[in-house]
Structure 1
Amino acid sequence: MTPFRARLSESDIRRLIKADDDDDRAAAAHKLCRAIDKADHAETLTDEEREAAQKILRVLAADAAELVRRALAVTLKSSDLLPREVARKLAADVDSIALPVLAGSPVLTDADLIEIVRGGSGARQIAIAGRPFVSRDVGEAIADDGVEAAVRVLASNDNADLSEAALGKAIDRFGQSPAVVTALAYRKVLPLAVTEKLIALASDAVRDHLISQHAIAPETAIRLAVGTRERATVDLIDQAGREPDIAAFVANLHARKVLNGSLLLRAVARGQMSFFEHAMAVLAGTPHQRAWLMIHDGGPLGLKAIYDRAGLPPRLYAAFRSGVDTWRALQSEGGDPSPERFQQRMLERFLSERSTVPRDDLGYLLDRLDQAPDRAGLVQAANAA
């Protein structure tokens, strides 16, 4: 007698067939299914025994008792021994039976799963979205027809093969859902176009993650630099601070004609002096080291000379002068020139010389510094100015 036949005792089978009590039959079904699963995993089943086991499973799937069918579904939900027609039958059963099979059965085909997604309930869509692997076709079906919760689970599943079209559809349908946007943003790999869409929808924390973890096209940098509202929520300058090759980043922006006076003024105000130095070097056509010396020249002529050579608007020079002087003062104090401290001091200076700063840029600075440690004092200074 093989180990498999030894475990399938006559008493278990008789108990399954003849017992009137549903609980008793369910316990027998569970024992039989476990024995079949163990033997299958141990690869001890002959072809004849596999066929016999599958006949038993067909009998269990036809049992009138929900407990018996559930014992089958739960115990063999991940087994490839389950006949496909039995898996389909269980997947069409009540949720307590269908969901375990939908969540893990490897014998269900993409066509089976797509059919269920198209016509099934939200709970069944969610089960399919969380499978150990979701194919591209199934992912697109969920993105097209899934409820919000199913799309969120799909987006959170890094074992789901999601096409750019499916990701875009998910954003189109549920771009106003913070949960869906966050799940999409934290996927390990995102196409560039999808990243750009998410940036416009995400919260500040999620947006920071996107900018730091995923590439952003220079075209997006241009778009993000336009408009006070966008400047207040998506800060290109902060991205510059994370760039490992700031010179290449600046050169890329310059090639697309983004390095204008307003952008550079915001760079100074955000404490990104390295970005400002490289940008001035590019605009003035001079080596970075020379630009650095002219910008940080203690006299009145160095900054003015490179500023004029860079072709920046004369009306903004006083604001830049104030920014560089504030930076130098912070450096000489020997304290902590953290971005937060620098921004607070910069805003104080700009508020006292607000006529030198264009209204849009002043609004931008106020928005960016909304969380400043001494915000109440700054607001009071602004009102008094």
Structure 2
Amino acid sequence: MSVHTLRARLTREDIARLTHSDEEERALAARKVCARYAGPGLTDEERELGAEIVRVLAQDAAELVRRALSVTLQRSPYLPEDVARQLMGDIDSIALPIIAGSPVLSDEDLIAIVRSGGPRRQTAVAARETLSEPLTAEIAEHGVSEAVSVLAANSGAAFNTAAYASVFNRFAHSPHILERFIERPSLPLEVTEKLVARISDAALQRLVARHALPPQLAVELAEGARERATVDLVDQAGLSSDPRRFVQQLQLNARLTPSLMLRALLRGHITFFEHAVAELAGVEHARAWVLIHDAGPLGLDAVFKKAGLPERILPAVRAALSAWHSLEVGPDGTRDLIRFRQRLMERVFTQFQGAPVAELDYCLDRLDADIAAETAARLTG
């Protein structure tokens, strides 16, 4: 196929360069041909002819020419798939732009690179603008540390639970890799909870700043008060989209303690409490819900014993549940939530004077902080 098929869009000098024996001249012409081919305005026939020219350029013996082709068409949807696969198997200087940017490569193509390619090629895959869950999982499971580090920070990489778990399992002792998760725009609650136990103080500050975690969390973590930090995470999550998974993660890390559950309940996190009891009792959430909210005393007693929870906190739990059923959260956002928690604490104090002091003190401290923050926001708003 002659290059003259695009003569209306190329100058005589371009055509001369494309057939010139000097590789730099051919590379300049190749870049212009490819730019024309990738641009708008071509008819279907012209696009087909252009694809044939691209195939010819991909066979050029000069690395400089093939690189011009690779760089110019790396993000073009018009790059023929067979040429994309040919270029991705070329030397790194030619392959990497295609691996990192070409939209015509399939997940199967990219997974093959992850499994057989070197660190630079794996990292190029991890840096792509978007990555599907299967591709993300493949890099998380088999990628070298450099690739996984790039993957963790890539907001376009679709992480699922298994992919997060692979990274934490493989790089549990590599905080510099785990800390890259902080750069993501959002994180599941259970991932955040795992991160705070493994990252440096400096990284923790970035986590607090970027993901709007309560500053109190940083202070309490520095003091080793992990349980209080976890309650703050429950506060931040509110009604998590998957409280069961968060509870399971706490249990796996031996942090689903009775005091944590009581503190969360006294903060009004009834859904978290239900799932926590269900997890410890080994029953479905629906069954735990029925027993916990039994109007009589028997249901709560039964599920408490099955969960192995200490009887000493049962009266406080019963008082908190009774108060929770008698109150409602209003429609006024944060203000109503704070008022709800304040009334909840008042009812617990009124109905039961023997709640563990440490848990009550904690919740009162957090309630004071809530009120102060809400007041400040109202004054500045």
Q: TM-score range by the shorter chain?
A: 0.5 to 0.7
Asked whether the equivalents of residues 87 and 107 of structure 1 are also in contact (C-alpha less than 8 Å), the reply is yes
**Counterpart in the other structure of 1:237:** 228
Cα distance, 1:94 vs structure 2 = 1.3
Which of 165, 170, 176 is matched with 2:173 structurally?
Answer: 176
**Counterpart in the other structure of 2:16:** 14
Cα distance, 1:249 vs structure 2 = 3.7
Which of 120, 124, 131 is matched with 1:123 structurally?
Answer: 120
Tell me, yes or no, if structure 1 residue 80 matches structure 2 residue 41.
no
Task: Give, in whole Å, the separation in 1 of the partners of 2:344 and 2:32.
Answer: 81
**Counterpart in the other structure of 2:135:** 138
Task: Give, in whole Å, the separation in 2 of the partners of 1:152 and 1:290.
Answer: 45
Q: Are the structure 2 counterparts of residues 60 and 207 from structure 1 closer, same or farther at C-alpha, using a change threshold of 3 Å? A: same
Task: Give, in whole Å, the separation in 2 of the partners of 1:184 and 1:290.
Answer: 37
* One-letter amino acid of the counterpart of residue 51, structure 1: E
**Counterpart in the other structure of 1:54:** 51
* TM-score, with length taken from structure 2: 0.59
Task: Give, in whole Å, the separation in 1 of the partners of 2:59 and 2:111.
Answer: 24
**Counterpart in the other structure of 1:29:** 30
Asked whether the equivalents of residues 87 and 94 of structure 2 are also in contact (C-alpha less than 8 Å), the reply is yes
**Counterpart in the other structure of 1:103:** 100
Q: Are the structure 2 counterparts of residues 293 and 162 from structure 1 closer, same or farther at C-alpha, using a change threshold of 3 Å? A: closer
Cα distance, 1:83 vs structure 2 = 1.0
* One-letter amino acid of the counterpart of residue 60, structure 1: L
Cα distance, 1:125 vs structure 2 = 0.9
Asked whether the equivalents of residues 199 and 234 of structure 1 are also in contact (C-alpha less than 8 Å), the reply is no
Task: Give, in whole Å, the separation in 2 of the partners of 1:192 and 1:291.
Answer: 26
Task: Give, in whole Å, the separation in 1 of the partners of 2:73 and 2:53.
Answer: 13
Instruction: State the SS of the aligned residue for 1:70.
Output: helix
* TM-score, with length taken from structure 1: 0.58
Cα distance, 1:171 vs structure 2 = 1.3
Asked whether the equivalents of residues 88 and 98 of structure 2 are also in contact (C-alpha less than 8 Å), the reply is yes
Which of 268, 289, 311 is matched with 1:248 structurally?
Answer: 268
Asked whether the equivalents of residues 185 and 210 of structure 1 are also in contact (C-alpha less than 8 Å), the reply is no
Asked whether the equivalents of residues 195 and 214 of structure 1 are also in contact (C-alpha less than 8 Å), the reply is no
Which of 180, 195, 198 is matched with 1:198 structurally?
Answer: 195
**Counterpart in the other structure of 1:65:** 62
Task: Give, in whole Å, the separation in 1 of the partners of 2:348 and 2:59.
Answer: 86
Instruction: State the SS of the aligned residue for 2:30.
Output: helix
Instruction: State the SS of the aligned residue for 1:7.
Output: coil
Instruction: State the SS of the aligned residue for 2:87.
Output: helix
* Larger Cα-atom Rg: 1
* One-letter amino acid of the counterpart of residue 247, structure 1: R
- Please, which runs of 5 or more residues in structure 2 have no aligned partner? 214-219, 239-265, 278-312, 324-341, 374-381
* One-letter amino acid of the counterpart of residue 164, structure 1: T
Q: Are the structure 2 counterparts of residues 30 and 254 from structure 1 closer, same or farther at C-alpha, using a change threshold of 3 Å? A: closer
Asked whether the equivalents of residues 6 and 50 of structure 2 are also in contact (C-alpha less than 8 Å), the reply is no
* One-letter amino acid of the counterpart of residue 237, structure 1: R
* One-letter amino acid of the counterpart of residue 61, structure 1: A
Cα distance, 1:173 vs structure 2 = 1.1
Task: Give, in whole Å, the separation in 1 of the partners of 2:210 and 2:35.
Answer: 48
Q: Are the structure 2 counterparts of residues 73 and 289 from structure 1 closer, same or farther at C-alpha, using a change threshold of 3 Å? A: closer
Q: Are the structure 2 counterparts of residues 204 and 74 from structure 1 closer, same or farther at C-alpha, using a change threshold of 3 Å? A: same
Q: Are the structure 2 counterparts of residues 253 and 27 from structure 1 closer, same or farther at C-alpha, using a change threshold of 3 Å? A: same
> Where in structure 2 are the equivalents of 1:290-301 lying within 5 Å?
none
> Where in structure 2 are the equivalents of 1:310-325 lying within 5 Å?
310=355, 312=356
State the number of aligned residues.
Answer: 272
Tell me, yes or no, if structure 1 residue 187 matches structure 2 residue 184.
yes
**Counterpart in the other structure of 2:91:** 94
Cα distance, 1:11 vs structure 2 = 3.8
Q: Are the structure 2 counterparts of residues 293 and 104 from structure 1 closer, same or farther at C-alpha, using a change threshold of 3 Å? A: closer
Q: Are the structure 2 counterparts of residues 152 and 20 from structure 1 closer, same or farther at C-alpha, using a change threshold of 3 Å? A: same
Cα distance, 1:46 vs structure 2 = 1.7
**Counterpart in the other structure of 1:365:** none
Asked whether the equivalents of residues 186 and 211 of structure 2 are also in contact (C-alpha less than 8 Å), the reply is no
Asked whether the equivalents of residues 77 and 104 of structure 1 are also in contact (C-alpha less than 8 Å), the reply is yes
Q: Are the structure 2 counterparts of residues 109 and 123 from structure 1 closer, same or farther at C-alpha, using a change threshold of 3 Å? A: same
